Amino acid sequence: MAHFAPDAMASAVAKDILAFPITHMKADLSFDEAPFRSHLDWILESKPAGVFAAGGTGEFFSLSPDEVERVTAASVTVTAGRTPVLAGAGYGTAIAVDLAKRAERAGADGILLLPPYLLTPSQEGLAAHVEAVCRSTGLGVIVYNRDNAILQADTVARLCERCPNLVGLKDGVGDIELMVRTRNLIGDRLVYVGGLPTAELFARPYFTMGVPTYSSALLNFLPNFARGFYSAVRAADDATIAAGLADFVLPYTAIRNRGRGYAVSIVKAGAAIVGRPAGPVRAPLTDLDAKSYADLEALIARHGDVAPAAHG
């Protein structure tokens, strides 16, 4: 049973930084539940406003439906109502509906609806997909706008009229005009979440547009830095934000950009470096190459897990 009704879930996630836990794997690439639970409990010490279980950073795309349900159920058990848990759903409509029902059965508080597989649908088809998922569950749904599934502002407005439990829009597009049009048309009907890779890069301009929160993969291995950076964003502390970008985020993303899929692999590498290993990534992703791993290790050692500080 969910701990948060849809509107309460949306209100909760808007208040603070959000966690995107990695999914732990054994050497044979099966889900390693015990260290996953331990790691999530450690992340919760940072008091995130919500947890995305089996999301993109959690390798949703490499998990079976049964595994998504297991990861979600484990997350619900660990959080124990302290913060909302949103489970990943996606692929074609039938599978997305099944995953939404599994999330509800596992006790999740909401759904993060990722893009459907491969194809690029029309706005009408994409709207029908979102509506089918919303109608299949009583949980609050946050749609992830990105890649091949980008809802235009008028489509979002129509969905808001038809789907009371559509409560959020997570933006992975980076189209400022689209975000301004959507916010102008819909206002506060939805909660808006930043969802571009390494969200800290975009957090300050997004916050000024009415996007109050984002999911930070950095909570997986540098929670003090991640929380301190978010606090600087909320306080509009531009000097501290600039220092955090220069000292860690920009060098980190330069390493991330060296390989396809490294946006996930680098997070698992970071967790291993700080003594919280989560096993390898599943194919088709690949782990960081040796030089990138060494460079990340040096960056973390040089910076440490401390909040960013403005340069004197």
Residues designated as active site: 144, 170
| Neighbour count for residue 267 (Cβ, 10 Å) | 24
Going along the chain, which residue ranges are E strands?
18-19, 51-53, 85-89, 110-113, 140-145, 166-171, 191-194, 213-216
Question: CA 215, 220, 221 angle in degrees (round to 5)?
Answer: 130
Angle subtended by helix axes 176-186 and 153-162, to nearest 10? 40
3-class SS at 15? coil
Secondary structure string (H, E, C) spanning 250-296: HHHHHHHCCCCCHHHHHHHHHHHHCCCCCCCCCCCCCCCCHHHHHHH
Q: What totals of helices (H) and strands (E) does the chain contain, helices first?
A: 13, 8
- Mode of pairing for the β-strands spanning 18-19 and 191-194: unpaired
How far is the CA of 33 from the CAs of 40, 72, 73, 278, in angstroms? Answer: 11, 11, 10, 10
Rounded CA-CA distance 199/183 in Å is: 19
